[in-house]
Structure 1
Amino acid sequence: MTSSAAGVDLIGSIIRYYDHTHFDYSSLWAHRSDPAFHYGYYDEQCRHHRRAVANANATLANFAAVKQGDIVLDAGCGRGGSCFWLAEKLGARPVGVNLVTSQLVYARKEADRRGLSGRTEFRRADYTKTPFEASSFDVVWALESLCHSPRKVDFYSEACRLLRPGGRLVIAEYMVTEIDMLPADQKLVADWLSGWSIPSLDTETQHKENADSMGFERIEVHDWTNRMRRSSLRLYCLARICHWLSFILNKAGLRSDVAHGNLLSARYQYEALQKRLWQYKILVAQKPGGTGRVL
């Protein structure tokens, strides 16, 4: 298979994944007030799921120093949850890109419902090769979306091109631990990633090297693993509760292999986390130039 054919196949896999798991995420994880699918950030003030999910946006925005009027590229925007939060809470001007048409349709309708159509924009595009002109954004934001790229360095290259001098990059991502895994551990991680249509994960070192190779400065990595662990456990518990119903429906042909695989991976991700095979980390960096230090 050629690299271009493999890329098309991966894109198709990602689209099928989100189309087939929409019901699960919508009914068990997301909420109308915040249609996000990502993990939550728990702290002393945010001890419940819905608030923790919103708190992830607030904490990321603080790291990236997002302010009113900033043009923010949400790379892999899902159903628009972060875009809505950035527009409503901070007065930013987010532009979301995504390859999943059904999610873009939802995001545009939700923007209309919230009165945000003039302050948000949603485009179908690959975040490693967008249609935007160079130096178009103040912030590039990627919340649990970079994992779907087979070559993470391509994202860093495009992010650097799109950012204005002094612009900020912020990424929240799953990063594999830099250890030699036993074959059983390798299989556990591979099974988890396969069920979520993730081709591979990079280590913290690889992410930092990618950012550095593209010329980013002030590269920092923050470990959020303990802050999101309750989200990981919640996902695991939901998967355990729903397992047999999902299994029966799948065998009866009433639930797709993709949807059932997603449920299995919700178990595997926590099992792998407990074995310290991966961590949840935030990378922030700044493009050289501008009027001074922001981060």
Structure 2
Amino acid sequence: MTTSALEPRWSTPDLHAAVKDHYDGLIDLYEDLWGEHIHHGYWAEGETDPGRHAAQVRLVDELISFGPVTEGARVLDAGCGIGASAVYLAQRLGCTVDGITLSAEQITRAEAKAAEAGVPDLTSFRLVDAMHTDYPEDTFDLVWALESCEIMPDKKAFLAECKRVLKPGGTLLVATWCARDDRLAPAETRLLQRIYRDFVISHVLPLEHYAELTADLGLTDIRTADWSPRVWDTWKLSTDIVKPVVRDPSVIWKLVRAKGMDIFRFLNSVPLMKQAYDRDVMRYGVFRATKPL
């Protein structure tokens, strides 16, 4: 295992296998605890708390505005999860969305959600490695990556693939977990490494590193934003949701029988993320860039 928190924790084959096992095995638990949008929420400063699920939708809306995402765009949802963002983009903006993931169970759930929402004709979901897709060059108006970049073991290869499949003038739009900076103390590094293990992700980078990588790849009109203060409540609320599960031995052992011993790491990962935000080790960044004409 690497000693740096800014380098991959896993080999790519091991990571892919772990991601498949993790999400195939825990997809229903994720959805039970987090809802259909399995990502951070966004709480606007000075506004009345809308509730966790509304905050998750708000984050999608804020990302759409940050892009911006245009109506009718052809979109690659790189790391589509259970399809909530793809369905939302299709419903709200009439986008045609290709969602890709490493989890067969996520695809099954995403297809069901698209059918329930009445947008199966605007969405499709496939088992594809986002770092190495089979799409032709210049295919998409937008590549959307909502909390999937942290899973990618080779960030530059992922961003290069995003650029390749974008049409000239197309937009890369990413929201991802970030490290505070590249000057982490040993205890901070250990905390991030535990999160990598328990959440089954590769590693995180400081937001400014992503700006540098996208510039190195020749992308233009690069903009970044730190949304950490807006998303922090996600982990306070998530910790409150997990507490009753952790405190009930009958529920714990039911989950162990159904999901195996890894359930302990999964449940422990939630307070670890809260700790990482509280200690300003983890941050939440967004960035967008354009493929030159």
What TM-score do you get using the length of structure 2 for normalisation? 0.91
CA deviation digits over 1:261-293, x for unaligned, max 9? 11111110110110000210101111111xxxx
Question: How far off its partner does 1:157 sit?
Answer: 0.3
Q: Give the aligned residue type for 1:245.
A: D
Task: Determine helix, strand or coil for the equivalent of 1:21.
Answer: helix
CA deviation digits over 1:216-271, x for unaligned, max 9? 11111101111111112111222333224379528965542322211111110110
- Aligned residue for 1:20? 25
284 and 109 in structure 1: CA distance in 2 versus 1, 3 angstrom threshold: same
Checking the alignment, whether the CA contact within 8 Å between 1:168 and 1:284 is kept in structure 2 is: yes
- Aligned residue for 1:41? 42
Task: Determine helix, strand or coil for the equivalent of 1:138.
Answer: strand
Q: CA separation in 1, counterparts of 2:188 and 2:244?
A: 24
Q: CA separation in 1, counterparts of 2:256 and 2:74?
A: 48
CA RMSD in angstroms, aligned pairs only: 2.1
Checking the alignment, whether the CA contact within 8 Å between 2:219 and 2:291 is kept in structure 1 is: yes
Q: Are 2:149 and 1:160 aligned?
A: no
Q: CA separation in 2, counterparts of 1:264 and 1:174?
A: 18
- Aligned residue for 2:5? none
Q: Give the aligned residue type for 2:242.
A: A
129 and 227 in structure 1: CA distance in 2 versus 1, 3 angstrom threshold: same
Which aligned pairs between 1:135-154 and structure 2 lie closer than 5 A? 135-154=138-157
113 and 227 in structure 1: CA distance in 2 versus 1, 3 angstrom threshold: same
Q: Give the aligned residue type for 1:147.
A: E
What is the percentage of aligned positions where both structures have the same residue? 28
Q: Are 2:133 and 1:130 aligned?
A: yes
Question: How far off its partner does 1:65 sit?
Answer: 1.7
Which aligned pairs between 1:252-271 and structure 2 lie closer than 5 A? 253=257, 255-271=259-275
- Aligned residue for 1:223? 226
- Aligned residue for 1:199? 202
Checking the alignment, whether the CA contact within 8 Å between 2:245 and 2:252 is kept in structure 1 is: no
Which aligned pairs between 1:82-121 and structure 2 lie closer than 5 A? 82-121=85-124
287 and 245 in structure 1: CA distance in 2 versus 1, 3 angstrom threshold: same
Checking the alignment, whether the CA contact within 8 Å between 1:20 and 1:258 is kept in structure 2 is: no
Q: Are 2:279 and 1:278 aligned?
A: no
Q: Give the aligned residue type for 2:289.
A: A
Task: Determine helix, strand or coil for the equivalent of 2:248.
Answer: helix
252 and 258 in structure 1: CA distance in 2 versus 1, 3 angstrom threshold: closer
Checking the alignment, whether the CA contact within 8 Å between 1:46 and 1:55 is kept in structure 2 is: no
Q: CA separation in 1, counterparts of 2:75 and 2:97?
A: 4
Q: Give the aligned residue type for 1:259.
A: I
- Aligned residue for 2:189? 186
Which aligned pairs between 1:29-68 and structure 2 lie closer than 5 A? 29-30=34-35, 35-43=36-44, 44=47, 47-68=50-71
- Aligned residue for 1:292? none
Question: How far off its partner does 1:205 sit?
Answer: 2.4
Q: CA separation in 2, counterparts of 1:66 and 1:188?
A: 35
Q: Give the aligned residue type for 1:276.
A: D
Checking the alignment, whether the CA contact within 8 Å between 1:40 and 1:54 is kept in structure 2 is: yes
Q: CA separation in 2, counterparts of 1:275 and 1:172?
A: 21
What TM-score do you get using the length of structure 1 for normalisation? 0.90
Checking the alignment, whether the CA contact within 8 Å between 1:250 and 1:260 is kept in structure 2 is: no
**Runs of 4+ in structure 1 displaced over 6 angstroms?**
none
Q: Give the aligned residue type for 1:210.
A: L
Checking the alignment, whether the CA contact within 8 Å between 1:38 and 1:53 is kept in structure 2 is: yes
Task: Give structure 1 stretches of 5+ with no counterpart.
Answer: 290-295
Question: How far off its partner does 1:96 sit?
Answer: 0.5
Question: How far off its partner does 1:192 sit?
Answer: 1.3
